[in-house]
Amino acid sequence: AAGAPKPLPSSGPKSLREMPHPLATSSSEEIGPALTPSPDLLLPRSIADKDLGLPNGTPVDTSSPASSSSLLNRLQLDDDLDGETRDLFVTVDDPKKHVCTMETYITYRVTTKTTRAEFDLPEYSVRRRYQDFDWLRNKLEESQPTHLIPPLPEKFVVKGVVDRFSEEFVETRRKALDKFLKRITDHPVLSFNEHFNVFLTAKDLNAYKKQGMALLSKMGESVKYVTGGYKVRSRPLEFAAIGEYLDTFSLKLGTIDRIAQRIIKEQLEYLVELREYGPVYSTWGGLEVELSEPLEGVSACIGNCCTALEELSEDMTEDFLPVLREYILYSESMKNVLKKRDQVQAEYEAKLEAIALKKEDRPKVPTDVEKCQDRVECFNADLKADMERWQNNKRQDFRQLLMGMADKNIQYYEKCLTAWESIIPLLQDKPETK
């Protein structure tokens, strides 16, 4: 079970996102019918054929199955939280622009590789646009109301005039969509959801969407939960604690978001001044004879620092801020799920109260109340499990995010250091020695 979808500690400057997915290659090599689809299969041979690297970036010799399976074991040790073995891999990549008469939009390639029985084929490749992801999320919320559904990147571009089709925007969005699907893939319940399956496999998703209502009615089991109209007496301690935690958590994230934005702003203003500063040394160099080269050298150096700074700000804008915002959205949607849970509990409590008041002994009532009790207990159990999973993932995600931020800053300073160190000999050069 290779663990590229889950973040792992990275000792090198490369972030895990840049790592090639163990099964993602440009080659169309298929996991052929020679392999028996079984959830326990670790797929050593197929992985051995693909491009693999250790999390720190060093390429792995995959010629022997032994080495690749030991690699998988290594990755698995850090990764195996639920004791499950991976049998489903999903990637979002290859954005493409489509220009039609009515509109212009972007689609992304969604690649699936799996050994699960629920899938007819071991491999799929479909194209999806943002509204398809949005549809999927809504469907998951509807059909799995007791679970935490990961957030999507924002639908509309909120701040400033951002080009929806710019490379940076599309790439940021792609990463978020990839994260979204990977989080669902990780989830022991959500990953088996029918809508998710269709999303990953259907050639014509629109046709399925239209059938949506018909399909639901065929499913028989009503998954609708009552929302609204009931007031919960009190949240159980553990959920109250979760609620309080989420409130403070999203507040702190909001603050961090503002600080990060402010830093980027200050850096860009610093950059503006630096861009004027460097060339003045060059102008001065033009006036001088003996000092001409040293002054030009300093000017070029400052120019290099400008480039490095620009890269740092871009990286922070594209990689750091979106993930923060994602988690703020995640917190918001989690708070909503908590409220839904409250509603279910409230309904149960109300029904209990009604019985107490009625003092009747009807056989119908207990079953009704029993069902409610079941719902509450299910919801609580699902939510608890999801919260634990979420806490763990959150810890990994933030560890990676903050380490990434530190890394970017280290790289910035290293680039500047190299630039300044390289001109010292130039500055010390005596004209007589030339």
Binding site for another protein (CB under 8 A): 9, 245, 248-249, 252, 255-256, 259, 262-263, 266-267, 269-270, 272-274, 276-277, 280-281, 283-284, 287-288, 290-291, 294-295, 298, 301, 395, 398-399, 402-403, 406-407, 409-410, 412-414, 416-417, 420-421, 423-424, 427-428
**Nearest 10 degrees: Cα torsion 205, 210, 212, 215:** -100
Q: How far is the CB of 315 from another protein (least distance, A)?
A: 14
Contact 346, 230 (CB under 8 A): yes
* Residue 434 Cβ vs another protein, minimum distance, rounded to whole Å: 14
Rounded Cα distance between 261 and 267, Å, is 10
Whichever of 225 and 420 has its CB closer to another protein, that residue is 420
Which DSSP letter does residue 43 get? Answer: -
Tell me how far, at minimum, the Cβ of 15 lies from another protein, in Å: 13
Nearer to another protein, 384 or 395 (CB): 395
147: exposed, middle or buried (Cβ count in 10 Å: 0-12, 13-18, 19+): buried
Q: Which is nearer to another protein, 30 or 269 (CB)?
A: 269
Structure tokens at 266: 């200050």
Beta carbon of residue 257, minimum distance to another protein (angstroms, whole number): 10
CB atoms within 10 A of CB 303: 18
Q: Is the sign of the CA dihedral 125, 128, 133, 136 positive or negative?
A: negative
Paired tokens of 88 = 């489903």
Closest to another protein by CB, 118 or 288? 288
Closest separation between CB of residue 190 and another protein, Å?
A: 25
CB atoms within 10 A of CB 352: 13
Instruction: Quote the least distance from Cβ 291 to another protein, whole Å.
Output: 6
Closer of 281 and 348 to another protein (Cβ): 281
Q: Under a CB-based contact definition with an 8 Å cutoff, are residues 65 and 57 in contact?
A: no
> How far is the C-alpha of 139 from the C-alpha of 145, rounded, in Å?
10
Which run of H or of E encompasses 141?
helix 130-143
Q: Which is nearer to another protein, 106 or 264 (CB)?
A: 264
Q: Is 286 exposed, middle or buried (0-12, 13-18, 19+ CB in 10 A)?
A: exposed
Cβ-Cβ contacts under 8 Å for 361 (sequence gap 6 or more): none
Least gap, CB of 275 to another protein (angstroms): 10
CB of 388 to another protein, least distance (A): 12
- What is the number of alpha carbons within 13 Å of residue 328 lying toward its C-beta? 17
How far, in Å, CA of 190 to CA of 185, rounded? 7
Give the per-residue SS3 of 179-202.
HHHHHHHHCCCHHHCHHHHHHHHC
**Residue number, 194 or 429, with CB nearest to another protein:** 429
From the list 176, 199, 5, the residue with the least C-alpha distance to 87 is: 5
Q: Rounded to the nearest whole angstrom, what is the least distance from the CB of residue 389 to another protein in the complex?
A: 15
- Comparing CB distances to another protein, the nearer of 9 and 188 is 9
Using the minimum distance from each CB to another protein, give the nearer residue, 321 or 365.
321
C-beta of residue 345 within 8 angstroms of C-beta of residue 232: yes
Q: How far is the CB of 124 from another protein (least distance, A)?
A: 36
Nearer to another protein, 107 or 267 (CB): 267
> Rounded to the nearest 5°, which phi and psi values hold at 197?
-60, -50
Element (H, E) at 91: strand 88-99
Minimum distance from residue 71 beta carbon to another protein (Å)? 22
Choice between 291 and 365, CB closer to another protein: 291
